[in-house]
Copies of this chain bind each other. A is one copy, B any other.
Amino acid sequence: MARAAYLERLPMRHPGDVSEIEAAIDAGTVRPGGLTAILGKTEGNGCVNDFTRAYATQSLRAALVGRLSPEHLAALPMVMSGGVEGGLSPHWLLLHEGEAPKTPGPALAIASRITRDLSPSEIGRIAQARLVREATLEAMAAAEIARPEDVHFVQVKCPLLTAERAAAAGGDVATRDMLRSMGLSRGASALGVAWALGEIGGLEQGRICADVEIWSARASCSAGVELMGCEVVVMGQSEVWSGPLAIKHTVMRDAIDAGAIAALLAEIAPGAPVGDPGPRLRAVLVKAEASKSGRIRGARHTMLEDSDIASTRHARGFVGGLVAGLVGFTEVFVSGGAEHQGPDGGGPVAFIYERENGA
């Protein structure tokens, strides 16, 4: 028997609704002891005052506290990402590990690490990138993923700065603007992943959220007020693992890069009609952002100049519509704010899907 990764994609009726998770555990579909990470796409604004993330996390903890050991619960990443703009649908993604007979070829391999709590002064700076780099490398090793190029997605949840935290740090913080601190934190995390995966060789002062030329093709970072450490979930392919699932990734070059999505779908479902890739696709993870250039293929967009709706909300809904249309369902995990996650205005995309020779 080999290690095997499993995934459940479950609906969420509101941010406190963990009933489908409880049902999956009670039915034996998910063995609590095997849980590696829980991702949640919740229906808040995904920005500073999005309390749906903390509410979902609190609800998850209450549901799991009697079903997991305290050590496991403390170490279990719960990556809540707010924002289901447009027709996106709130949902949970449960990644869990079990066993399966070894079949030929690589399969999905997963592992996670949580860094120590950051001080407010570290948020959005090189110190954060370094901690994320280390956690990524440790999770890779734990997942027995042999080479950096076998890593296909690294989901990071990281902290942000509030006025209170900035004051506690005596003002020695990367920014005093809360919304901006979310961007810096995401950016530092992404560069930590890039560093771990060899996409960049190192990181110098002054590059975070300033140099759009350095980025990871596999990092997806979201920031939330509810934690002070960084939760790192590594997903890749490993010959050591078996089981029903595999993972692939691509990079959208801009917000309307349908071709990148279509090409990745064609690897899983060759010849399938547009918008109907069939049942093999199990989860879709996407990063989206408004291009800093203010343009998409030369045409002006207004996302950065809209003072009524945050640009991250615009970007999630817009890219979410394209991806949902192409994959044929709306439970797509689109996360906003793609600083150093793909090129300016684009972002990484990963598909978790059923192996042909799986299970």
Chain A residues within 8 Å of B, Cβ to Cβ: 11, 13-16, 43-45, 47-52, 54-55, 58-59, 62, 84-91, 162-164, 176, 178-179, 225, 255-259, 261-262, 273-276, 290, 292-294, 296-297, 299-310, 313-315, 317-322, 324-326, 328-331
Please give the count of copies of this chain that the complex contains.
4
Contact of A258 among B45, B87, B88, B326 (CB under 8 A): B326
Q: Are A290 and B325 in contact (CB under 8 A)?
A: no
Residues of the B chain whose Cβ atoms lie less than 8 Å from the Cβ of A305:
48-49, 162-163, 178
Contacts of A164 in B (CB 8 A): 13, 294
Asked if residues A225 and B14 are in contact (CB atoms below 8 Å), the reply is yes
Instruction: Write out the residue numbers on chain B whose beta carbons fall within 8 Å of the beta carbon of A303.
Output: 86-87
**Among the interface residues A84, A225, A297, A307, which one has the most CB atoms of the partner chain B within 10 A?**
A307
Q: Top 10 nearest A-B pairs by Cβ distance?
A: A86-B318, A47-B307, A258-B275, A321-B321, A318-B321, A262-B274, A258-B325, A322-B325, A163-B294, A89-B299
A262 / chain B contacts, CB cutoff of 8 Å: 273-275
| A47 contact set on B, CB distance < 8 A | 307-308
17 contacts between A and B (CB under 8 A): A11-B299, A16-B51, A43-B51, A48-B306, A49-B308, A86-B318, A86-B319, A87-B318, A88-B318, A163-B305, A256-B275, A256-B321, A257-B275, A261-B274, A274-B326, A319-B321, A322-B325
